[in-house]
Structure 1
Amino acid sequence: MMEGKVVAVCVSEKKGTPKKNIKEAFLEEGVGIPQDAHASFGHRQISMLAFEDIEEAKKKLPELEPGSFAENITVKDFDLKSLEVGDRVQVGEAILELSQIGKECHTRCAIYHKTGDCIMPTRGIFFKVVKSGRVAVGDKVTKVIIE
């Protein structure tokens, strides 16, 4: 069984900008995080990135931190690369369904200009919230096995 943990819960007021770690949020079914710029954004309500990928990017830019790539949830010790579209994960009290792996960046966002690169197109994954709940730093992340 895969099990990781949440290291950051992040929001921003504008799309394409780094997010700030607010440590805890309520994920609303069909919406995402209501106070985030990406709330109600169709099938990409929540974005997730592995802490290990941020650590790798820090070799080039040491000031990077969770939220730098505009991800909502940063997780550690959880193999995001093994997930497929349709898989579900429980994060804290919420259940998320994987809706998209990676994304096309049409414009060079603030993150790209700051970092010279953006790992979201290849490493970022996106979810729809299928069950509302609170998520906080330290919460468990597990794959939901659908019988």
Structure 2
Amino acid sequence: MAKIIAVCRSDNKGVPKQDIGEGLFREEYGLENDAHADCCSHRQVSLLAMESIEKMRKLGLDVKPGDFAENLTTEGIALVSLPVGTRVAVGAEVVLEISQIGKECHTGCAIMRQVGKCIMPKEGV
């Protein structure tokens, strides 16, 4: 069964997000009080599977949910296999639509510098 492991936000772009436990998602905006929330963006919420984070841990990185700047860390759902346009229910009231597979790392991505690769460009949604 698929589940949400963490809900993460940050005040600024380009930094890891902190797990806040729960949050308010606003339609056509994103996670309230998150730096990436924006009414005019095609991508207001980002997701990453815990299974992807585990891959980076196996490379020796000490990483946790939010370190890749994702808003939702999931478990038990193959996010990268979902076609663009797929709608994903999150709880009883939130429905997200997959608008893009992969999320470009920002310039100076610490994980990219540390190990030479990052999972967000291929596995972030």
TM-score in terms of structure 1 length: 0.77
1:44/1:100 CA distance change after superposition, 3 Å: same
CA contact (8 A) 1:18 1:110 kept: no
CA distance in 2, matches of 1:114, 1:35: 29
Does the 8 Å CA contact 2:84/2:100 hold for their aligned counterparts?
Answer: yes
- Return the offset for 1:34: 1.8
Q: What SS does the corresponding residue of 1:9 show, helix, strand or coil?
A: strand
Q: Contact between 2:80 and 2:124, CA under 8 Å: does it hold in 1?
A: no
Structure (1 or 2) with the greater strand fraction? 1
User: How far off its partner does 1:114 sit?
Assistant: 5.0
2:94 aligned residue = 94
Which protein has greater RCO, CA pairs closer than 8 Å, 6+ apart? 1
Any gaps of 5 or more consecutive residues in structure 2? Answer: none
- What is the TM-score normalised by the length of structure 2? 0.89
5+ residue gaps, structure 1, are: 126-147
What is residue 17 of structure 1 aligned with on the other side?
15
Query: Deviations for 1:4-51, whole angstroms, at most 9, x for unmatched residues?
Result: 000000001111111100010011001001210100150110000000
Q: Secondary structure in 1 aligned to 2:47?
A: strand
- 8 Å Cα contact 1:17/1:110 also seen in 2: no
* Count of matched residue positions in the alignment of Structure 1 and Structure 2: 123
Measured in 2, the distance between the counterparts of 1:106 and 1:11 equals 16
* C-alpha distance after superposition, 1:104-133 (max 9, x if no partner): 3362324434554321111001xxxxxxxx
Is the deviation greater in 43-52 or in 56-65?
A: 56-65
The match for 1:134 is none
Native 8 Å contact 2:7 2:73 kept in 1: yes
Distance 1:19 1:32 in 2: 14
Residues 62 and 104 (structure 1), Cα distance of their counterparts in 2 relative to 1, 3 Å cut? closer
CA RMSD of the aligned region, Å?
Answer: 1.7
Contact 2:8/2:70, CA 8 A, preserved across alignment:
yes
Identity in percent: 52
Letter matched to residue 25 of structure 1? G
User: Relative to 1, partners in 2 of residues 1:35 and 1:115: Cα closer, same or farther, differing over 3 Å?
Assistant: farther
| Equivalence map 1:1-147=2 (5 Å) | 3-40=1-38, 42-92=41-91, 93-105=93-105, 107-113=107-113, 116-125=116-125
Tell me if the contact between 2:6 and 2:21 (Cα under 8 Å) persists in the aligned partners.
Answer: yes
Q: 1:51 to 1:43 in 2, by over 3 A?
A: same
